[in-house]
Structure 1
Amino acid sequence: MLSSKWVNGTILHYWFLDGPAAQQQAVRDAFAEWKALGIGLVFTEVQDRSEAEVRIGFDQADGSWSYVGRDVLGIPATQPTMNFGWDLTTDYGRTTALHEIGHTLGLPHEHQNPFAGIVWDEPKVYDYFSGSPNFWPREQTFSNVLRKLDPTEVEGSTWDPNSVMEYWFPAGLIIQPAQYHSGLEPAGGLSATDKEWILRFYPKLKATNPLLTPFVSVPLSLAPGGQANFSIVPSETRRYELGTFGFADTVVVLFEEVKGKLRHLAANDNSGTDRNAKVQVKLFKDRKYVARVRLGWAGASGQTAIMLW
């Protein structure tokens, strides 16, 4: 979903609450597999929980799950944002690790794609997921399986039954398409369509960004999900404001470059409100900063702009 995507170039820090070494390594390998596609996000393991946006547990009684995209930022630092409830060293476990990390990257369940055309035998779906190993109440089954995503918030393929974000379903749960009435079993791992779309969402970043100077408004013509990146090198030390203008849902994030690495300074998201995204922060003369703005919805005019002042 567009609203849950990270600003491209974000460094996601992850931390393990617990877990055997082999299970932790399986998660590291899954992060590396996503990164090896050439996406613009960065994954960094940290040893301090307070530094981690992504906190990973291995509670065998809690199933496998993850919060979606930037929703992890709203979870208290004392709580996990991802959990694995079974062995990740098998082929199925490897796919599970890729699947849950996919959620953290902002990817929803593929079977909830509003363009998939799936017709469910709903009583059988509720009955199946109420049993072992899920034991889900009706609300959770509806949320994870039957609920269709809002078409206005989705960008992606029509339906990819082999997506790593697709569930395995036994026979009898799907009425249409008829070919899956006997069951749906994805191939496992990242599909070709998964790789194509994650690179559209998070393309490799350019080595240099245009310079954003104070009091110069820069028009942005971005498609939903599109992003613009800028460099900032202040000529004086003072408090600055960085924000967007126009009728558009945007996320603005500001980083400082410290020893070649970007450190998060501030962020703001105006999605679902009648205001623009804006951050206020003190910047220091001749230090290097990076501003990123991502568009969720273009609004009535289809135009927006960004300015530093």
Structure 2
Amino acid sequence: MDFALHLSTLLSVLTHCSAQWCYKSQYSCDNTCRDPSRWPGLFPDCGGLRQSPINIVTNHVQANHSLSPLTFYGHHNILNITVENMGHSAHFSLPSSVQVSGGGLAGRYRAIQFHLHWGVDAGPGSEHTVDGEHYPMELHIVHIKEPYNSLEEAEHDKSGIALLAFLFEESNDDHHHYNSLIEALGRVQNNGNQSTVPGFRLCDIIPPSHDLHDYYRYVGSMTTPGCEQAVVWTLFHRTIPVSNRQLVSVAQQAQFWTGQPMTGIFRPVQPLNGRTVYRSATSPVQPGLITVWLYVLQSVLGRALA
């Protein structure tokens, strides 16, 4: 009986492990986890028609004048937040006082967490691409629509989740506010580890709000299983500068649930399937247009004075 019990337990563990999802960077002949190409077999929504991330083709984007600047709440609040190794990434918790509204969103949305996606050795690591270009890292800030109390509740609403995304670019200098986040990742090396980041302000790690009027908008999904198609995506034009040292270091801190280094944590881009990608219409007027308008104004004034 004991042997049968142990055998049953072993088979259960093996079955559970083989059913785990993973990133392409984790998959090997010795690991039976399901990489992104096989996620739909375990999670049907991952094969849906509104999946994320996507490649944004700027020539096909449509301007939308209803996409006004967003309004941010609680971004300057000083917080003590928790970071947890989730086995596939690390989530930094945010209180419900951090919120966003406007910008064509369906009401006010409360933040629950943010996380990063990165590659290896400062190589490609973003989930979204722009005209086929990968960026070295991407930040996602996850919000749920009021009055939902959890991500699970919001996932049943096609616009229940608002995700703010920021792309990173390599710079010569460190972004000093990211050092504390990198250090925090080093304190949660293993699956389930938790740590605290004291004195945190969200406004310190993203561009100032007056630089966030220009963005892309589309409807999509979560980028990890179950890939729930309930997300309104906002991808900002303004990138976040970090140094090569920081990009290399961020991928050296934590481990996957398998014990492997946590690198290459991004899902490949998914088919657009007829969706429209919009761009906010609040961008500054292009210099060429200014020149044209000055010429017209001079002509009109010239006739009036003649």
TM-score range, shorter chain: under 0.3
Greater RCO (Cα-Cα under 8 Å, separation 6 or more): 2
- What TM-score do you get using the length of structure 1 for normalisation? 0.22
Name which one, 1 or 2, has greater alpha-carbon Rg: 2
- What TM-score do you get using the length of structure 2 for normalisation? 0.22
